[in-house]
Amino acid sequence: MRQMSDPAKKTKQFTLGDAQQLLPTVRQRTADAVERAERLSKTLDDLPASDPRRTEMLTSLDEVCAVWAREMDTLGVVVKGMWLVDFDNGDGYYCWKHPETAVSHYHEYDDGFSGRMKIV
């Protein structure tokens, strides 16, 4: 998935403690967005392919994702994918993905999600 945050924008830098302190807010806003998205997806799945309301549902689903991405950007975290955010620490990223319960992974700038390492 493409990075949703503006790569030219200077990101906030976090210590691990900062990231852990902000995580409850990130988790709650993400959980709320996931719940709304799942509800919309279920409704969408239940509509016949020819139903004109599908367009409205798809637009609403896109808006849920866009609002979540803007909220994460406002908090200073970098959105890297759907329900996936990074906390820039100046040397790389602390990485969190819904529904993880803690900030427990790190990866360098060029590694991405596949290069995540468990923080010891």
CA distance 110 to 100: 22
**Confidence (pLDDT) at 9:** 59
Asked, for residue 2, whether it belongs to a domain, the answer is: no
* Total-model pTM: 0.87
- The answer to the question of residue 77 being in a domain is yes
Domain that holds residue 106: 16-118
24 inside domain: yes
86 is a domain residue: yes
**Residue 4 falls inside a structural domain:** no
Mind spelling out the 3-state secondary structure of 26-47? HHHHHHHHHHHHHHHHHHHHHC
Q: Provide the pLDDT for residue 120.
A: 72
Distances from the Cα of 72 to the Cα of 14, 45, 53, 54, angstroms: 14, 28, 29, 27
d(CA 64, CA 54): 15
The predicted structure's pLDDT at residue 11: 75
In a domain, 42, yes or no: yes
pLDDT of 1: 37
Query: What's the total number of domains in the chain?
Result: 1
Q: What is the pLDDT of residue 5?
A: 46
Q: Within the chain, which residues score under 50 in pLDDT?
A: 1-7
Is residue 7 in some structural domain? no
User: Using an 8 Å Cβ cutoff, are 5 and 73 in contact?
Assistant: yes
